[in-house]
Amino acid sequence: MNDSSSAVRDLATRIRSAVGTAVVGSDRISFGLLVALFSRGHALIEGVPGTGKTLAVRALAAALGLPFRRIQFTPDLMPSDVVGTSVFNPQSATFSVRPGPINANVVLADEINRTPPKTQAALLEAMEEGRVTIDGTPIALPQPFIVCATQNPIEYEGTYPLPEAQLDRFAVKISAGYPAADQELDLLARVAAGFDSRALDLAGISAVTDAKEIIAAQAAVRRVLVASEVRGYAYAVVTATRAHPRLALGASPRAAVTLLVASQAAAAIDGRDYATPDDVKDVAELVLAHRLIVQPEAEIEGATAGSVVSEILASVPVPRE
């Protein structure tokens, strides 16, 4: 362990503790959000209404203490409502650029699949290149920059499936399910004691870091050693998705790169300056499942992208140290 990996672990612990103040059973959600943040990626959280998706992102933003904007995605939302537009000034007879709510460090794209694909696509340039273009004028977005989107399962009324190109821009997809019995009882006890999710500052969540420390953590993650054996294991897992009989679409080279960097982030969160095959396993479903398309006949038999990833992890040989 070196100083930089220890610093990442300490930062992750502080952020996790702050998020846990507001969200019960938040360990897996917090881990996914931290992997996305430290790997300079973006996170998609899926779950039925009322499972704390939006609250988790708000708690993360409060813990980071960075400029935060929430965009409520609705069927009538236009791309200019996201990225911004040019405004005509009649006094000077000139146009000026007015940036949209995407111009923030932490952006919550709430219920992203309730708006048509045209507006969803407005996020593509921002998520891939860290900038937006308004009437031909490129505008760099502040760093660090993370989009945290929430969505309801696509079977729910009024939802639009995210195109593959949009899904591929999310480093991780996190499932927000129902909490365990003891966790939900803990939630009720907190509410009975006065907890109000609308007032996170009163709940004791305050900034535990700043932009400089987060950028330093992101740089430290990229210095995590990934031995050739671990790289080969990550590659084997990705290529196995391309040949799996239950899948119509396997993982792309971008997915392989994301899996590798996410493994570095998982190692750094654990306080190590080297990645292991276990780090690859820890993030594989988060990184790969939403990028895969299951064959229709396999879906009828009950197969899911997550179950296929589990099958692959069980079948691909793990390199020995």
The count of domains in the chain is: 2
Same domain, 9 and 147: yes
Same domain, 212 and 235: no
Tell which of 193, 222, 251 closes a domain. Answer: 222
Note the pLDDT tens digit of each residue in 262-292.
999 999 999 999 999 999 999 999 999 999 9
- Domain extent, residue 41, equals 3-222
List of residues 6+ apart from 9 with CB closer than 8 A = 268, 269, 270, 271
User: Please, what is the average pLDDT of the chain?
Assistant: 90
Q: What is the 3-state secondary structure (H, E, C) of 174-236?
A: EECCCCCHHHHHHHHHHHHCCCCCCCCCCCCCCCCCCHHHHHHHHHHHHCCECCHHHHHHHHH
Note the pLDDT tens digit of each residue in 120-158.
888 989 999 999 988 888 889 999 999 999 998 765 666
Same domain, 155 and 14: yes
Query: E strand or H helix at 11, and its extent?
Result: helix 3-22
Query: E strand or H helix at 61, and its extent?
Result: helix 53-64
List of residues 6+ apart from 234 with CB closer than 8 A = 256, 259, 260, 263, 280
Return the percentage of the chain with pLDDT > 70, whole number.
Answer: 97
Q: What is the mean pLDDT of residues 198-220?
A: 88
Q: What is the pTM of this model?
A: 0.91
Distance (Å, whole) CA 127 – CA 136: 18
CA distances from 111 to 126, 174, 312 (A): 18, 14, 31
CB 110 within 8 A of CB 72: yes
Same domain, 191 and 111: yes
Same domain, 115 and 217: yes
Residue 258 has phi, psi (to 5 degrees) of: -65, -40
For residue 36, which of 195, 144, 142, 140 has the smallest C-alpha distance?
144
Same domain, 174 and 258: no
